[in-house]
Structure 1
Amino acid sequence: MPVNGQGVWPERQVPRLEKLPRPLFARNESLENAVGTPRHTHAWVQLSYAIRGVLHVYTAEGSFVAPPQRAVWIPAGAEHEVFSSPHTEMRSLYLDAAAAGSGLDSCRVIEIDALTRELIRRFCELPVEYDESGADGRLAQVLLDQLLVAREVSLSLPLPSDPRLLRLCRALQEAPDDSRTLLQWSEDLGASEKTLRRLFLRETGLTFRVWRQRLRLHGSLEALEQGQRVTEVALACGYDSTSAFIAAFRQHFGVTPGDFFQS
Structure 2
Amino acid sequence: MSQNGQERDRRFGTAILVGQFVMPRGTAFATHWHPDHQLLCSEKGLLRIRSEHGTWLLPPSLALWIPAHVPHATASEGDAVMRGVFIDPESCPHIGWRDPTVVAVTPLLHALVVHLDRTDLTPEARSRAEPVLLDELRPVPVTSVAAPEPRDPRARAVAEALRARPADGRALAAYGGQVGASARTLARLFVAETGLGFGQWRERLRMQAALPYLVEGLPVEAVARRVGYASASSFTAAFHRVVGVTPRQYFPR
- Residues 162 and 249 from structure 1, CA distance in 2 versus in 1: closer, same or farther, beyond 3 angstroms? closer
* Separation of aligned partners in 1, 2:157 and 2:37: 31
Note if 1:21 corresponds to 2:10. Answer: yes
- Residues 51 and 21 from structure 1, CA distance in 2 versus in 1: closer, same or farther, beyond 3 angstroms? closer
- Paired residue secondary structure (1:21): coil
Which stretches in structure 2 are left out of the alignment for 5+ residues?
none
Code of the residue aligned with 1:123 in structure 2: it is: L
Per-residue CA distance 1:160-215 (angstroms, 9 max, x = gap) = 69744994796355653454545667876787356446547xx75x5442343233
Note if 1:135 corresponds to 2:115. Answer: no
Task: Name 1:67's counterpart in structure 2.
Answer: 59
* Separation of aligned partners in 1, 2:31 and 2:191: 33
- Residues 143 and 173 from structure 1, CA distance in 2 versus in 1: closer, same or farther, beyond 3 angstroms? farther
* Separation of aligned partners in 2, 1:246 and 1:46: 31
Task: Name 2:142's counterpart in structure 1.
Answer: 154
TM-score w.r.t. length of structure 1: 0.69
Distance apart, 1:249 and its partner CA = 3.6
Q: Is the Cα–Cα contact under 8 Å of residues 149 and 156 in structure 2 kept in the other structure?
A: no
Note if 1:227 corresponds to 2:220. Answer: no
Code of the residue aligned with 2:62 in structure 1: it is: R
- Paired residue secondary structure (2:102): strand
- Residues 169 and 104 from structure 1, CA distance in 2 versus in 1: closer, same or farther, beyond 3 angstroms? farther
Identity over the aligned pairs, expressed in percent?
25
- Paired residue secondary structure (2:18): strand
* Separation of aligned partners in 2, 1:19 and 1:66: 23
Code of the residue aligned with 1:26 in structure 2: it is: L
- Residues 70 and 216 from structure 1, CA distance in 2 versus in 1: closer, same or farther, beyond 3 angstroms? same
Distance apart, 1:80 and its partner CA = 2.4
Distance apart, 1:57 and its partner CA = 0.9
Q: Which of 18, 40, 43 matches 2:31?
A: 40
* Separation of aligned partners in 2, 1:146 and 1:225: 24
Note if 1:108 corresponds to 2:117. Answer: no
CA RMSD of aligned residues (A): 4.0
Aligned length: 241
Distance apart, 1:49 and its partner CA = 0.5
- Paired residue secondary structure (1:92): strand
* Separation of aligned partners in 2, 1:245 and 1:97: 40
Note if 1:31 corresponds to 2:22. Answer: yes
